[in-house]
Amino acid sequence: MLDKQHEVWYQARQQDPPRKVRILLFDQAIQLYDAADESFIGAFAVGGIRLIETSAGAAMLQLLPDGYERLTVSVNHLLWPELNQKLSNTGKFSTKAKKHWKWPVLLLVIAGGLLGIYFLLISLITGIGLQLVSTEKERELGEMIYASMAEGLKIDSAATEKLTLFANELKLSEQYRLNFTVVDEKEINAFAIPGGRIVVYKGILEEMKEPEELVALLGHEASHVNERHSLRSILRQLSGSVLLSMVFGDLGSIGSAVVGQADQLRSLSYSRSLEEEADASAMDLMRGNKVDPRGMIGLMDRLKKAESGTKLPGFLSTHPLTTDRKATAEKYIRQFPQTYETPAPIAESWKQLRNSISGSGKNEW
């Protein structure tokens, strides 16, 4: 869990006590989930949110133009800069529209409103779908996706075994049984599949020099699984009829749609909010495993060196890799100034993995 300065509080009515929630930002809408049981609270269009006041390091927002609902967000929250920017842009547009009230502007306002409603509906469907899709159905969906793409993957069985042994030394998930696969390709990539499968390419493993960097990568991808980010992205892309088929258990009827989504997972780019959440959760997992979270910075430094002239897929390509996200990681580390020593089992498993990959005769570590 993140520290208290990242907490968000929601109050539905004036007489109700505020409750702690999780917030996710998608397109032009935000989603709220109860922090205790992860139940979906609702989705709110950014265009309808109004900043009431900012005091004592927290911003109070009114979520609906004609309702009481309030949201209090710490200005230190990872999502606050992005949300605040969206709110500011909305306000500037509204002011401009009022000042220059012409038919073209009116049409733009209407179009913008319809677009906001569309994103809000998609956000609502996604949030509700996440509550209705059980982890067992999610696992079945993930296996279907993996099976559809496995034939096209050149799997390194020996490296897969060693990576699995390395991951088994870590506590990465409480609710999912994670499975790991190493693909024998130079591509610098890794991605998560709904239900617990994590695919890592040899190219990214070859760039790493320290075990903490690999823990950072696995923690990031495990967080995508734990927070159901991959499932969330798929739900947003599937049609309503397909979503209903999956919710009510008819997975066979969505086979073609799942196959169509499979290859997209290899280059899936999550929203900035999901990536930052996965980064922070990964560093939480690192600290919980007594592994230095500076490995996240080390991982990003390696990737910066590798990205020159290369289009990095997946989470590696979203937003400035060595600026915003690295700065956020450095801020996180300053909050927890501890000294870590890599546990011996992790160091030994790392050595075996390195030997397995260098033993292929293709690369020197």
Is 43 among the domain residues?
yes
Question: If pLDDT is split at 50, 70 and 90, which confidence band does 273 have?
Answer: confident
Same domain, 101 and 146: no
Verify that 350 and 288 share a domain, yes or no. Answer: yes
Range of the domain at 106: 4-132
Across 103-112, 146-155, 242-251, which has the greatest mean pLDDT?
Answer: 146-155
Residues 59 and 82 in one domain: yes
Residue keyed to tokens 């710490």: 74
Domain end, chosen from 132, 153, 176, is at 132
Counting the structural domains of the chain, the total is 2
Distance in angstroms (rounded) separating the CA atoms of residues 261 and 249? 19
Confidence of residue 1 (pLDDT cuts 50, 70, 90): very low
Residue 201 inside a domain? The answer is yes
Strand, helix or coil for residue 352:
helix
- Boundary residue ending a domain (75, 97, 132): 132
Last residue of a domain, one of 102, 132, 162: 132
Q: Is the pLDDT of residue 117 over 50?
A: yes
Residue 196 backbone zone (phi > 0: left; psi -120 to 50: alpha; other: beta) = left
| pLDDT at residue 315, as a whole number | 46
Q: What is the pLDDT of residue 291?
A: 95
Residue partners of 217: CB distance under 8 A and separation at least 6:
190, 200, 204, 208, 299
Same structural domain for residues 245 and 348? yes
Give domain status of residue 363, yes or no. no
Separation of alpha carbons 293 and 328, rounded Å: 12
Judge whether 365 lies within some domain.
Answer: no
Q: What is the pTM of this model?
A: 0.67
Confidence at residue 362, expressed as pLDDT on a 0 to 100 scale: 45
The whole-number pLDDT of residue 2 equals: 38
145 and 292 co-located in one domain: yes
What is the per-residue pLDDT across 77-93, written as a single tens digit (0 to 9) for each? Answer: 878 888 888 787 655 44
What string of DSSP letters covers 215-279? Answer: HHHHHHHHHHHHTTHHHHHHHHHS-HHHHHHHHTT-GGGGHHHHHHHHHHHTT----HHHHHHHH
Please report, for the domain that includes residue 14, its CATH number: 2.30.29.30
Tens of pLDDT, residue by residue over 326-352, are 888 888 888 888 888 989 999 999 999
What the block records as the tokens of 221 is: 């991808």
Q: Are residues 116 and 55 in the same domain?
A: yes
Residue 320 pLDDT: 44
Residue 125 and residue 93 share a domain: yes
Same domain, 89 and 197: no
Q: What percent of the chain has pLDDT over 90?
A: 24
Question: CA 128 to CA 42: how far, in whole Å?
Answer: 9
In terms of domains, do 29 and 167 share one? no
52 and 146 in a single domain? The answer is: no
Q: Which residues contact 60 (CB under 8 A, 6 or more apart)?
A: 51, 52, 53, 54, 70, 71, 72
Do residues 189 and 335 share a domain? yes
Residue 230 covered by a domain = yes
Q: What is the pLDDT of residues 311-331, one digit of tens each?
A: 444 444 444 455 677 888 888
Going by C-alpha positions, the residue among 60, 27, 64 that lies closest to residue 42 is 64
Does the structure show a pLDDT above 70 at 355? Answer: yes
pLDDT at 242 over 70: no
Q: Is the residue at 364 inside a domain?
A: no
* Same domain for 176 and 94: no
Is 309 domain-assigned? yes
Residue 16 lies in a domain: yes
